[in-house]
Chains A and B, each alone.
Chain A
Amino acid sequence: MTSSAGSLLSLNNLGKRFGSLQALEGVSLDVRAGSVQCLLGENGAGKSTLCNLIFGVYEPSEGDMVFDGAAWAPESPAVALEKGIAMVHQHFSLVPRMTVVENLMLGQVRGVLKRHEFGARIRDIAENFGFTLDPDAVVGELSVGERQRAEIVKCLMRDPKLLVLDEPTAVLPPGEIGALLDICRRVADSGRAVILVTHKLAEIAKVADRVAVLRTGRLVADESMAEADMGALVHAMVGRELRPLDVALAETDEDVEASEAPKGFALVCDGLTVHDRHGAVRLDNFTLEIRPGEIVGLAGVEGNGQSELGMVLAGLLRPTEGHFYIAGNDLTHAGAAAVTAAGGGIVPEDRHAVACVTAMSVAENMFLNKLDRFTRFGLLQRGALNAAAQKQMQEFDVRAAGPEVAFSGLSGGNQQKAVLARELTLDPLVALVAAQPTRGLDVSAVEAVYRQIRAAARRGVGVLLISSELDELLAVADRVAVLYRGRLVGERPAEMNERGAIGALMSGQVA
């Protein structure tokens, strides 16, 4: 058991196995008091596992930890909290209908509530770290950034020595990221240590003192931010020069000419505007035209109106203003069934909530919008349905024990392929709107999804590809439009050397 001088938390050769899966292996890291440590890695690299070990959710399989000069093996998050480690989770644990002060008192006080006194403490702490927080505001009425600050104050009230923030920027609109980083800096300056977990290095680069990179459960880089080379770090995180998408890109596009381009636009958005329940503008006068056979990428940090746009185009949300057309048909108020009938294929960003009924069979899900085809006198022809599903499963490489197994039993990649199969086999298919279609998928599934999307475009389908993964968009799309705070702020050709310009647009810097 060793501990370097000055380090608050030391991880020594830490490992974690789940059954046969080695989630984490041989991780050694020192986190110093008064510093901001950035923990970088792609989805599934082991960041969450590492946090959960530190925070006492799991026990390590190998190795040990030292915290504040003593062996560290917390048996539960409660113990970790008590001993000085606090964590802000990606999903907040606040009760929306209670006020900030009530939320922060929950579980912390006994007996009669002294809201005033406690509220004053909240104000003090917030002020100490350079921000404001109204203790009497109802949490449900706060912005995401304000809720996050409430969570941070909740942690700071316990006067922790180490503050862990899990993907804190993922939920924030770009404008609030700077404020968050200032808070992190001040927390570190007060002598505490801060661990920032993220897969978006660029956003937090300016506040990090040190950066460690995890890839497939191993620590592949650990250096001082001042000396680090950004390109090298990204390379270490991704671990490969050639992304799978480049392979897809390398496929010849020769047969593009083969399909005759129909006249007019596949999909037209004309001034779409969405106000949320509180009247805030989520989508602002969004106008975009997509030709048949064209793939338009829509880039943007999550939470800048993509979800609302997806819901509008799926026929599930009525825009406050504006119209959209598929093959010239105005479908703004027509509803989901009409979008499907007009040839609008939709791959929604939240697969489980919108695209499928996981408790029903694969066949039922693959034909959920075409059940009429298998209906005679009101009765469902199951034999024909299952046979058709079987055929389509082969065609789209959906791997499952059979068409009758529950959809929930499929892997994420196979679920997505099934949804894609359903939407791509619409007849007619004029436009495809795919939102974050590769999220959470493994490399081979990502490749399969994009192969299908490109094939559809070659057949003359207009594709709107909404993604927060800029590299994917650059690889697949013909041009990239950028959404920022609900507005279309610019459009660039999908070329690697435009990466910087698009990135600037995404972060709200007008070119």
Chain B
Amino acid sequence: MTDRRRLLGMAVPFVAVLGSMIVGLLLIAASGKDVPDAIEAFMDGAFGSAFAIGASINRAVTLSLVGLGFILAFRANLTNVGGEGQIAVGGIAATALGLWPPIASLPLGLAVIVPLLGGTLAGAFWGGIAGFMKVRFGTNEVISTLLLGFVALLAVYWCVQSTALLRQPQTSSATLPESLQIADAAKLPSLTGNAESPLHIGLVICLLLAVATAIVLQRSTFGLRLRAIGLNELAARRAGMPGGIMMVVALAMAGAFGGLAGAIMLQGEQYYLKTGFSSGYGFDGLVVGLLSRGSTLGVLAGALFFGFLRSGGISMEIMAQVPAALTLVIQGLIVIAVAGSVILVEKLQGAR
């Protein structure tokens, strides 16, 4: 019976994905574009070359990290909607550290590691604020993480607008509001050694963290305590668990994953800070976390799917003139369908 329930739980995202893809194809057809052309362009952009695959996987890494953080906090019944902002503060910290000359001259790969850690800590701090507000003032974390997200996005804007902060020196009126490129030493090493592929060691970091998350959630006492707090905070506190601290820790962990994702995005591919560099990855990561229903493997699978979907969508726009916004439509439909079917699934599972 449990197998059947699990199967049902997995079937829903699957059906939602399939249905939304079909709607996507219908939309392509309706817009008068050639469907096989579009599919070819999509496949080409997603899997067509070492570059395409590397870029897609890099996207998936970002989404996985945010998703993993989401399910960690969600175990304690905390919904982290602030992935976007946590990516942003992670990116700011990584840029600042990556631009700081003393860091770039550090040996032993520390020039890479210190900005990564800086981004992680910044994200943890940002998530921790929401945790603190929850424990101290009883502020709903959904509202606080969302608002903190906007503040963080505007902080990026601030950083790249002001030369006193991270904006590159203004030599002419045409100088873009962006930071300088970070030091070469701070850039993430390539994973393949192949100059064609942008794939970097972010993938390894992500997989290691995924394994760690799975162990924490399924095997560790800490994971069980998170669950207890999520289910009944008062009983957990009575049993000696520091409920408030654990909630702050849970949200800080979620934030840390987001911050790390931001640092990896910046040090892995973007190399300089600009407004909107997180471009929706935070919300997509949240979606990945939700769809996974708390499973680490689910997060990785969902992240890969959305990673390839994004890459393919961009290619479709360039090669088949199908707006990339189509992937947003598909994504939105998936989220709504999965969220809407929760009760249905519970009923089916209840009825066995």
Query: A residues bordering B, Cβ < 8 Å?
Result: 314-316, 335-337, 340-341, 346, 348, 353-360, 364, 368-369, 371-372, 374-375, 378-380
Segment of B57-65, B196-204, B219-227 engaged in the interface with chain A: B219-227
Central interface residue in A346, A355, A371, by most chain B CB within 10 Å = A371
User: Is B231 an interface position by the 8 A CB rule?
Assistant: yes
Contact check, A356 vs B235: say whether CB atoms are below 8 A apart.
yes
Once bound together, how far apart are the Cα atoms of A340 and B219, in whole Å?
Answer: 25
CA of A346 to CA of B236 in the docked complex: distance in angstroms?
13
**How far is it, in angstroms, between the C-alpha of A359 and the C-alpha of B232 when the chains are bound?**
9
B222 touches A346 (CB 8 A): no
B231 neighbours in A (Cβ, 8 Å): 357-360
B213-255 near A? 1/0 per residue, CB < 8 Å: 0010001111111011001101111111110000000000000
Per the CB 8 Å criterion, the residue count for chain B at the interface is: 21
Known: A357-B228, A358-B231, A372-B221. 12 other contacts (CB 8 A): A314-B238, A315-B238, A316-B238, A354-B234, A354-B235, A356-B235, A360-B231, A378-B220, A378-B222, A379-B215, A379-B221, A380-B221
Q: Provide the bound-state CA to CA distance between A173 and B342, in Å.
A: 44
Contact of B238 among A336, A359, A371, A380 (CB under 8 A): A336
Residues of B contacting A348 in the complex (Cβ-Cβ under 8 angstroms): 238
Q: If the complex has contacts A360-B227, A368-B239, are A353 and B221 also in contact, measured as CB distance less than 8 A?
A: no
A360 contacts across to B, CB distance below 8 A: 224, 227-228, 231
List chain B residues, Cβ under 8 A from A368.
228, 235-236, 239
Q: Is the CB of B221 within 8 A of A357?
A: no
Please tell me which one of the listed residues A337, A355, A380 contacts residue B224 in the complex, with CB atoms under 8 A apart. A380
Contact yes or no, A337 B232, CB < 8 A: no
On B, residues with C-beta under 8 Å from A are 215, 219-225, 227-228, 231-232, 234-242
For B222, the closest partner residue in chain A by CB is A378
Q: Which of B220, B224, B234, B237 contacts A364 (CB 8 A)?
A: B224
Contact of B235 among A355, A372, A378 (CB under 8 A): A355
How far is it, in angstroms, between the C-alpha of A52 and the C-alpha of B9 when the chains are bound?
A: 39
- A340–B242 alpha-carbon span in the complex (Å): 13
A353–B231 Cα distance when bound, in Å, is 10
Can you list 22 A-B pairs with a CB-CB distance of less than 8 A?
A335-B242, A336-B238, A337-B240, A337-B241, A340-B239, A341-B240, A346-B238, A354-B238, A355-B235, A356-B235, A357-B232, A357-B235, A358-B232, A360-B224, A360-B231, A368-B235, A368-B239, A372-B221, A379-B219, A379-B220, A380-B219, A380-B221
Q: Closest CB of chain A to B346's CB: distance in Å?
A: 14
B225 near A371: Cβ-Cβ < 8 Å = yes
Docked Cα-Cα span, A266 to B215, in Å, equals 42
Q: Evaluate whether A336 and B239 lie within 8 angstroms (CB atoms) in the complex, with A353-B234, A368-B228, A371-B224 already known.
A: yes
* CB <8 Å contact, A355 and B238: yes
Q: How far is the CB of A296 from chain B (nearest CB, A)?
A: 22
Closest chain B residue to A355 by CB distance? B235
Which of chain A's residues has its CB closest to B240's CB?
A337
Of listed A353, A375, A378, residue having the most chain B CB within 10 A? A378
Interchain residue pairs A-B with the least CB separation, the first 10: A337-B240, A368-B239, A369-B239, A375-B221, A357-B232, A380-B221, A357-B231, A379-B219, A369-B240, A371-B221
Contact B234 A316 (CB under 8 A): yes
* Contact partner, B242, options A314, A337, A354, Cβ 8 Å: A337
